[in-house]
Amino acid sequence: MDISQKIHLLGDLLGKVISEIEAPDLFEKEEHIRSLARERRNGDEQAARNLQQSISTLSIKDARVLAASFAAYFDLVNLVEEDHRVQILRQRESEVFPESNNESIGEAFAILKEQGVTPGQIKTLMENLSIELVLTAHPTEARRRTILSKTERIASLLAELSQNENYPRERQATIHALRAVISALWLTDRVRAEKLTVADEVRTGMYYVDSFFWNTLPVLYRDLEDALEKYYPSVSPPRRWLKLASWIGGDRDGNPFVKSHITAETLRLHRGLVVENLRRELHELGRQLSVSSSRITPPPALLAWIEKRRPFPEHVSYIEQRYSNEPYRLVLSLLVNDLAEASKDSMTRHLLGEHTHQSRLSVNDLLEPLRIIASAMPKSLLNDELQAVIHKVEIFGLHAAHLDIREDSSRFNAALSEILRALNIESDFENLPDEERATLLSRLLNNPAPNLSKHPGVTSDTAETWALFQLIGRTKEIYGSDLLGPIVISMTHAAADVLTVLLLAKWAGAKQLPPIAPLFESVQDLKDAPKILEQLFTSGYYRKHLESLGNTQMVMIGYSDSNKDGGYVMANWSLYQAQEEITKIAAKHKIKLTIFHGRGGTIARGGGPANNAIRAQPTGSINGRFRVTEQGEIIASRYANPGLAHRHLEQIASAVILASAPHKEEPIPAKWRQTIETISNAGFRAYRSLVYETPGFIQFWEAATPLDEIKRLQIGSRPASRAKAGAVNQIRAIPWVFSWMQSRFNLPSWYSLGTGLAAIHDVALLQEMYDGWLFFQTLLNNSEISLLKADMDISALYVSLVPDKKLGSEIFNSIRSEYEQTRDLVLKVSRHTSLLELEATTQQAVQLRNPYVDPLNYIQVETLQRLRALPDPDGEEAKPLREIMALTINGIAAGLRNTG
């Protein structure tokens, strides 16, 4: 079956389910509305009026069913498209086999071999290679986990359908199973009844690790080993180069619900998941590895390891007696016993200081005997389950992911200020100039820590910050350094913000501290980043901290807030320049740098094709090390399907390897730099003029988007704003982007680019930059998908909701004019005849989806109108309307394949 046949099959099954469970006439009504939407797309103005009339006369019940039907349809279409992409990938792989597919790890090494890169240079690259995916709890996954599990089941049935195509009976059974799951999907509430808690988010994170990453990441290890063996056989593969981290349960920034006991419980769950998974897999491996000592003589090191473990637990002694010639099974049985004992550990109590002792089981306790066994096995046995288990221990250790700790710099500063005031050291630390703060901190860091009580602060907030640093200290002391990732400092404005964290940690008794990663988010902070790092790298105490970490420094850059602050072009250019400069500063001080990219799913938040995004970074900024956030709906869309997960990860690995390979550095021509500077400055002025300087813009935004409804969604534990304020700089980037995406403006992902390009009258120069500079090409190419998903005619429906008609008309005319200018100039510079001309599959997918997305926008606008007309927006009358709103938000997000 081809893609259109599968879409038709699932659409037909959904129609039958709706007709059976709801009413046949509702399905007919849905088909009529979709038909009108298609005709409107083709330019039929009467169809547009009829569509609006049909939607405006819907009852609440019918509107709910129709919104749910379009949302469910997109869930099914997305699954078919993912299945189709996997089929295409397999076909392409079979066409080039035994050569490597494009943008694969094998192809990367083939290219480097052809370029003359030596084994010695590859060895250095492999020693530096470190790729880490960081899962975050950012609330952009609008679907419930229950819905995700059902769509996973449908995806597996679609794969079965492809395999059973020539077997009618099996095919019919699969179709029956599909209808049953679609029925269950239809009858399941798509909208959460209650707001997510942090504990819910942590469990969802564990679900992602267990379902998406546990079996996928080891495959990439095997890919890299195979590629090295083929192209650079003398180079040993790195043992731990692809890793997983998480913010879920450790991200306190703006989330008052993440407390120390939550973080401690998260660490327990991380350890518990991996300990249990490894126990189960080693138990099964023990049954499979029934290798007799008479066939393969055990290495002396393994026999010595066994003797050191005596006396054995009773059940292990039984295994030794029953399988006396199977020492490999015996060793695995001992490891299974160790993991079973580790699972009994009262970890949360230890971390919270109620009862502490050193952890008895370390990663090396598992790896040492497993590697000895592997060294004795023939290659045919090594490449199967045994090697996969070893890779899992190398990737995960004894925890599901490194847990990052994130907090806003102002919170750390407030806590220390209160402590210093209580100790009569400084009465107003928070408000001192940055240089004076840094001087005071340096002096205090070099002095002995004062004798402080368990909770030295006056307020509960300060006590909680203090408890956090005590937890960090205990975690490192009891369980080692692998459980925690860096301490990420949001809104880092000065070197003193980093030194504050060092002092709090020292005074709280944390003898070992994880890396500290300043996060630079605003345009100004990105410009100040090099100066701040220079100050840190010349601070004696901070250099001692870096030396304890092998002279490594992680720096995080934020794509979301920089966009919200300066607009699309200025944000991207500021991020590029910051990376160039901090790379130079790190090299000057002989610091091994890792740049941590805080990207989201949409173009406005750093999303887009991963391979080009990595290769477009400044020369030398990656150098084998790449860390990136994976947020919300992106986690499921990229990793739920094993085939697509593997493809995305191999593209990341390929791009990092190629970007890090030694090559002659070609400086960016000065005239290109001057040109992009002009473009970004013009774009910055246009963006700030609209968003920050236009009177009434906030009122326009609030009225012409479903912002309030997005804030009410039960999709995250964190509040939508950093503070109670109506300013753009106080709203978080996710609802900012989410609201514009829902109303089809998609403004943050393109606005200001047109004005910027128009400031350059030499089109030939822009075309030269597009052809020769991957950064500039990626900047324009990414805007194309944003422009294609935007729809000013649909946005006009939302503008009709703005009470001040004159204000609405003026602002919308400015936005539409900029949209048209941006679209026209992007096409002119790229020499494309239509948006996404070179990405025909994506272009067609967007165009095919629009007749299904548009009715959801019409329903959403009608529902917003009814909600805002109610005397009490929180009364009983509002509840069914809010359910419809949630369904439309859910469906539009699925249809556009983007939220925030």
Q: How far is CA 346 from CA 271, 478, 542, 744, in A?
A: 11, 12, 34, 50
Nearest 5°: phi and psi at 387?
A: -65, -35
Considering only CA atoms, which of 718, 785, 702, 792 is closest in space to residue 749? Answer: 785
Nearest 5°: phi and psi at 142?
A: -80, -10
Residue 147: alpha-carbon gap to chain centroid = 20
Cα(265)–Cα(348) distance, integer angstroms: 6
229-249 in b/e form (b: 16+ CB < 10 A) is eebbeebebbebbbbbbbbbb
| Environment class of 448 (CB within 10 Å of its CB; exposed 0-12, middle 13-18, buried 19+) | exposed
Residue with tokens 């490194």: 402
Tokens of 451: 């004798």
Considering only CA atoms, which of 680, 681, 677 is closest in space to residue 668? Answer: 677
Half-sphere exposure of 698 (CA within 13 A, CB side): 10
Tokens of 70: 């379009």
* Residues noted as catalytic: 138, 564
Give the list of residues 6+ apart from residue 740 with CB closer than 8 angstroms, or none.
Answer: 705, 746, 747, 748
Enclosing H/E stretch for 187: helix 168-187
Cα(687)–Cα(682) distance, integer angstroms: 9
Where do the H-state alpha helices sit in 377-431? 379-381, 387-396, 409-422
For residue 746, the tally of other CB atoms under 10 A from its CB is 27
Enclosing H/E stretch for 465: helix 460-479
CA 805, 806, 807, 812 torsion-angle sign: positive
Cα(469)–Cα(476) distance, integer angstroms: 11
Where do the H-state alpha helices sit in 748-839? 753-758, 763-772, 774-789, 792-799, 805-830
Give the list of residues 6+ apart from residue 889 with CB closer than 8 angstroms, or none.
Answer: 142, 706, 709, 710, 713, 742, 860
Give the list of residues 6+ apart from residue 95 with CB closer than 8 angstroms, or none.
Answer: none
Q: What is the DSSP letter of 856?
A: H
- Residue 222: left (phi > 0), alpha (psi -120 to 50), or beta? alpha
Cα(875)–Cα(886) distance, integer angstroms: 17
What 3-state DSSP class applies to 401? coil
DSSP 109-132: HHHHHHTT--HHHHHHHHHH-EEE
Could you tell me if 685 and 163 are in contact, meaning their C-beta atoms sit under 8 angstroms apart? no
Residue with tokens 């490999």: 328
For residue 854, the tally of other CB atoms under 10 A from its CB is 27
Could you tell me if 836 and 608 are in contact, meaning their C-beta atoms sit under 8 angstroms apart? no
Tokens of 366: 């598992």
Cα(500)–Cα(700) distance, integer angstroms: 40
| Environment class of 89 (CB within 10 Å of its CB; exposed 0-12, middle 13-18, buried 19+) | middle
* Identity of the residue numbered 502: L
Residue 552: alpha-carbon gap to chain centroid = 23
Considering only CA atoms, which of 484, 518, 515 is closest in space to residue 412? Answer: 518
Could you tell me if 815 and 745 are in contact, meaning their C-beta atoms sit under 8 angstroms apart? yes
